[in-house]
């Protein structure tokens, strides 16, 4: 008989352990914020009038009891309510534990028992958003909170969801604000920020290179235009100089061409000695001509400053030209002097 009884006891113990294990896995969890009050209700039990005693234990240690209308609390923070629930005031982190409730009827028999796990969490603080324009990096940081979850969104699209207290994100554009949300099971906070960055070093370098390149191009164009204008002016000046030189040469050649026929005409005419008989004696012909030539000499004297062209003198000459035009005017002067001397006494 002892062996069957031992076997039956072992089976019952195993069933009890498995039941406890399954019950521990099915213990409901209640989360509450630190510093607030919480009420642990009797889940899955309808209150009956035959319940005479309610006992709450924390990790196997009684913390509060109610018998009828009498409430017994071993600690001030705990209180059993009329419907059997447990109220805990001013929660702290050490209040996190597994609480067990036991109900007894008027006969002392247990009518209900249950376990509840309480988790005391710190409320999340408002996240802070900071950014670094040189690296195009945005940081969302949570300073306080238990089991918090951070989420960073832009344009209603969430880029990161993390359970850590810090999120770093490298942005591609800044056309919309960023929203960082911190959340846990007892609280939620959010912050929104619009990032304004001046020109970054990379963009500044690109702008600098572009400005230098553009300035160099403009300078090269200006220098080219200046060289082109200078060359055009030089060409114009050279053309003008050539034209002036051609005009001078043309005038010179035209003047030389106008003077050319006079000596040819004078040379072409035969000398009076060779063409005809000898002239009559000079005194007889020159004596009467000496007097009428005097006024011609006086009238032609001021024309020495600006002698007429040789081409105009040729048609004005009448008769054969004198053989020596530059020497012949001297005898008339002497004759005139002799005539004046003869007339004076």
Looking at the structure, tell me whether residues 27 and 110 fall in a common domain. yes
Tell me, yes or no, whether 112 lies in a domain: yes
Does residue 133 share a domain with residue 169? yes
Residues 83 and 51 in one domain: yes
Give yes or no for residue 12 having a pLDDT over 60: no
For residue 318, the model assigns a pLDDT of: 54
Range of the domain at 169: 128-193
What distance, in Å, lies between the first and last C-alpha atoms of the chain?
212
Summarised one tens digit per residue, pLDDT across range 251-264 is: 788 776 655 554 44
* 161 falls within a domain: yes
Q: Assess if residue 132 is contained within a domain.
A: yes
At residue 299 the predicted structure's pLDDT band, cuts being 50, 70 and 90, is very low
Residues 37 and 113 in one domain: yes
Is 280 a member of any domain? no
Per residue in 45-96, pLDDT (tens digit) is 888 888 889 999 999 899 999 888 788 777 788 999 988 899 999 999 999 9
CATH of the domain at 98: 2.60.40.10
* CB atoms near residue 40 (< 10 Å): 22
Identify whether 15 is part of a domain.
no
Q: How many domains does the chain have?
A: 3
Within-domain flag for 103: yes
Which is it for the CA torsion 254, 256, 262, 267, positive or negative?
A: negative
Q: What is the pTM of this model?
A: 0.48
- Judge if 75 and 163 occupy the same domain: no
In DSSP notation, 127-177 reads PEEEEETTTTEEEEE--S-SS-EEEEEETTEEEEEESSSEEEEE-S--SS-
pLDDT at residue 120 tops 90: yes
Residue 258 tokens, joined: 């106008």
- Asked if the structure places residue 299 within a domain, the reply is no
Q: Are residues 111 and 138 in the same domain?
A: no
Residue in 271, 283, 277 with CA at minimum distance from that of residue 321: 271
Whether residues 110 and 146 share a domain: the answer is no
Using 50, 70 and 90 to split pLDDT, how confident is the model at 108?
Answer: confident
148 and 209, same domain (yes or no): no
Question: Would 12 be classed as within a structural domain?
Answer: no
Q: Tokens 């062209």, residue? A: 309
SS3 percent helix, strand, coil of the chain, rounded to 5, is 40, 25, 30
């Amino acid at each position: 008989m002892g062996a069957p009884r031992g076997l039956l006891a072992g089976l019952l113990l195993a069933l009890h352990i498995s039941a406890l294990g399954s019950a521990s896995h099915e213990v409901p969890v209640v989360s509450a914020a630190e510093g607030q009050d919480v009420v642990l209700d009797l889940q899955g039990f309808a209150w009956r009038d035959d319940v005479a005693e309610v006992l709450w234990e924390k990790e196997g240690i009684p913390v509060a009891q109610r018998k009828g209308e009498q409430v017994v609390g071993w600690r001030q923070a705990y209180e059993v309510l009329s419907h059997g629930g447990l109220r805990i005031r001013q929660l702290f982190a050490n209040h996190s534990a597994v609480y067990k409730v036991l109900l007894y009827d008027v006969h002392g028999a247990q009518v209900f028992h249950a376990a509840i796990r309480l988790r005391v969490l710190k409320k999340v603080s408002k996240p802070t958003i900071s950014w670094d324009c040189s690296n195009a990096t945005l940081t969302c940081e949570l300073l306080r909170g238990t089991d918090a979850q951070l989420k960073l969104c832009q344009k209603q699209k969430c880029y990161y969801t993390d359970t850590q207290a810090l999120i770093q994100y490298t942005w591609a554009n800044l056309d919309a604000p960023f929203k960082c949300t911190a959340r846990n099971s007892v609280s939620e906070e959010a912050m929104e920020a619009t990032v304004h960055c001046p020109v970054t070093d990379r963009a500044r370098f690109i702008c600098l290179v572009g400005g230098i390149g553009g300035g160099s191009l403009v300078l090269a164009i200006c220098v080219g235009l200046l060289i082109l204008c200078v060359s055009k002016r030089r060409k114009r000046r050279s053309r003008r100089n050539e034209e002036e030189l051609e005009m001078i040469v043309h005038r010179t050649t035209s003047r030389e061409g106008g003077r050319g026929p006079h000596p040819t005409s004078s040379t072409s005419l035969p000398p009076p000695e060779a063409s005809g008989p000898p002239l009559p004696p000079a005194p007889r012909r020159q004596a009467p001509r000496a007097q009428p030539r005097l006024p011609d000499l006086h009238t032609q004297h001021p024309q020495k400053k600006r002698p007429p062209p040789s081409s105009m003198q040729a048609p004005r000459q009448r008769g054969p030209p004198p053989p020596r035009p530059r020497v012949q005017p001297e005898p008339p002067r002497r004759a005139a002097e002799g005539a004046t001397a003869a007339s004076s006494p």
